[in-house]
Amino acid sequence: VECLNLRDFAIRPACVQDADAIVDILKALGQYRRLSALQPEEAIARIRRRLRPYSRGVSPSAHVAHDSAGTVVGYVTVHWLAYLFMPGPEGYVSELFVHPGVAGHGIGSRLLEEVIVEAKARSCTRLSLLNMRDRESYKRGFYAKRGWQERADAANWIYPL
């Protein structure tokens, strides 16, 4: 990714036109073999379709980070979950990805800060996310250093389909 103006990066709500950049980010991270197996235009069309509800800003929501030339270099998505038993909703951070070419420039932190601002505006009780322990971000304590608390007492379950 050509990105020379990182000091001036900014955050804005995502729109469907960001699909191309999001595909680039996911491919560059190399963790999405199923997406990479698609033709580029199919992958973009799929993300565009999926982005539609996100761009309405209710739930889920998505923000992108871009440099001063408008190049999108990272994004975050949040699903806002209402519970009956909790005082306020929970924001589930479902995706946080920064292009590997610009990792370590504060973009991921800035996207997370945006989520916290939005969560407070929505009167949320808490945020949550899943971070695999073999990920670089976990090993480097990315979330722990930013005030997130690991729930040692909770088991995370999936039911594969």
Ligand X SMILES: CC(C)(COP(=O)(O)OP(=O)(O)OC[C@H]1O[C@@H](n2cnc3c(N)ncnc32)[C@H](O)[C@@H]1OP(=O)(O)O)[C@@H](O)C(=O)NCCC(=O)NCCS
Cα→Cα distances 137→73, 84, 104, 118, Å: 17, 32, 11, 23
Residues 6+ apart with CB under 8 A from 125: 86, 87, 88, 89, 90
Binding status of residue 109 toward ligand X by CB under 6 A: yes
CB atoms within 10 A of CB 54: 22
Report the distance separating Cα 69 and Cα 63, nearest Å: 17
Residue 108 beta carbon to ligand X: minimum distance, rounded to whole angstroms:
2
Identify the sign of the CA torsion 28, 149, 55, 158: positive
Residue 35 beta carbon to ligand X: minimum distance, rounded to whole angstroms:
14
Binding status of residue 94 toward ligand X by CB under 6 A: no
Q: Identify whether the C-beta of residue 93 lies closer than 8 Å to the C-beta of residue 128.
A: yes
Cα→Cα distances 39→33, 103, 123, Å: 12, 26, 41
Please choose, out of 1-9, 45-53, 55-63, 90-98, the segment that lies near ligand X by the rule CB under 6 A: 90-98
* Binding test (CB under 6 A) with ligand X, winner from 13, 20, 50, 106: 106
* Binding test (CB under 6 A) with ligand X, winner from 26, 47, 98, 124: 98
What character string, x for contact with ligand X (CB under 6 A) and - otherwise, covers 128-147? -x-x---xxx--x-x-----
What character string, x for contact with ligand X (CB under 6 A) and - otherwise, covers 14-43? ---------------x--------------
Three-state DSSP class for 96? strand
Residue 85 beta carbon to ligand X: minimum distance, rounded to whole angstroms:
26
Q: Smaller CB distance to ligand X: residue 5 or 52?
A: 5
Which residues make up the interface to ligand X (CB under 6 A)?
A: 29, 96-98, 100, 103-109, 129, 131, 135-137, 140, 142
